[in-house]
Amino acid sequence: MTIGWDEIAWDGVALPGIAGKVALVTGGTGAIGGRVTMALAAAGMRVGVMGRSPDLVHRQTCEVPPALGDRLLAVPGDVSDPADATDCVETLVERCGRLDVLVHAAAIGDSGALLAEMTVAEVDRLHAVNVRGTLLMAQAAAVPMRAQGGGSMILLASVAAGRAGPRGLMYGATKAAVVRMARQLAIELGPDGIRVNAVSPGQTPTVLRGVDERPGSPAMASPGGNEEAIPLRRRGRLDDYAGPVLFLASDLAAYVTGTDLLVDGGVAIRR
């Protein structure tokens, strides 16, 4: 899935510390990752788009308005592969000279299996993408960020990290690990001038990648939810998540690190 450029609403955005900087977005061909990619590029950043499908990455970086010129760069790769994580970061730094922002949006959903139905293969794949992938991308991005004296890492988590339900056992567990890593990395990398934060979306009209799907395979629609249980009475829109990411990437958030920013319409505060 790619998001049409005619849907973008971020042209002309001016935030301090954005224009001219370089970002890498993992899961950049997905719904939230794709919209974040557009927002960062429209705000003046050069953006590397990372995804498992070279064809989707190519489409996402080539089907762009002429006004954006060469702001998007294709860096296909699998976040769960140590070599790919390192190569994608090094390729972007070689082409752009630096890396200022990592937006880690790559993730897969679980099958909704209950405890007795959960398989070791599913657990291992979820951990590989959602947890190991987060660690590998943070490791790789920290190298150039330390060398240049700072940067911002934004890790996409989920309200499922702290809000239990009848399904989603392992997905929620892996997203809780992402929130925990953001807090720990904020402490470790803070002295190097690197800020690390999580963003936790709520119910979103996004797409889900399954455990066994091949790169570029059709995505599944996100299941609907009870909008009456959301204080703002609606599901999240993609631009709802692009805005907070832009904020955390910019100098407006220069003193913000180690936080989990809930972008959920207030659903997490309900019992």
User: Hey, what domains does the chain have and what are their CATH numbers?
Assistant: 5-269 (3.40.50.720)
- CA 201 to CA 82: how far, in whole Å? 27
Phi and psi at 202, nearest 5°, equal -100, -140
Find the catalytic residue in 152, 175, 200, 241: 175
Decide if 241 is catalytic: no
What local confidence, expressed as pLDDT, does residue 207 receive? 53
What local confidence, expressed as pLDDT, does residue 226 receive? 74
Written as six digits, the tokens of 155 are 């890790």
Q: Any idea what DSSP says for residue 77?
A: -
Decide if 158 is catalytic: yes
Written as six digits, the tokens of 74 are 């294709």
For 160-197, b/e burial (b = at least 16 CB within 10 A) is bbebeeeebbbbbbbbbbbbebbeebbeebeeeebbbb
What local confidence, expressed as pLDDT, does residue 142 receive? 98
Find the catalytic residue in 80, 152, 158, 250: 158
What local confidence, expressed as pLDDT, does residue 211 receive? 42
DSSP-assigned letters across all residues of 145-164: HHHHT-EEEEEE--GGGT--
What local confidence, expressed as pLDDT, does residue 129 receive? 96
Q: What is the mean pLDDT of each run of 10 residues along the chain (271 residues)?
A: 45 78 95 91 94 88 74 95 98 98 94 89 94 98 98 94 76 95 98 97 64 49 66 81 94 97 82 62
Find the catalytic residue in 80, 111, 152, 171: 171
Q: Quote the crossing angle between the two packed helices 82-96 and 133-148, to the nearest 10°.
A: 30
What local confidence, expressed as pLDDT, does residue 64 receive? 72
Decide if 175 is catalytic: yes
Our separate counts of H helices and E strands in the chain read 7, 9
Phi and psi at 252, nearest 5°, equal -65, -25
- CA 263 to CA 244: how far, in whole Å? 8
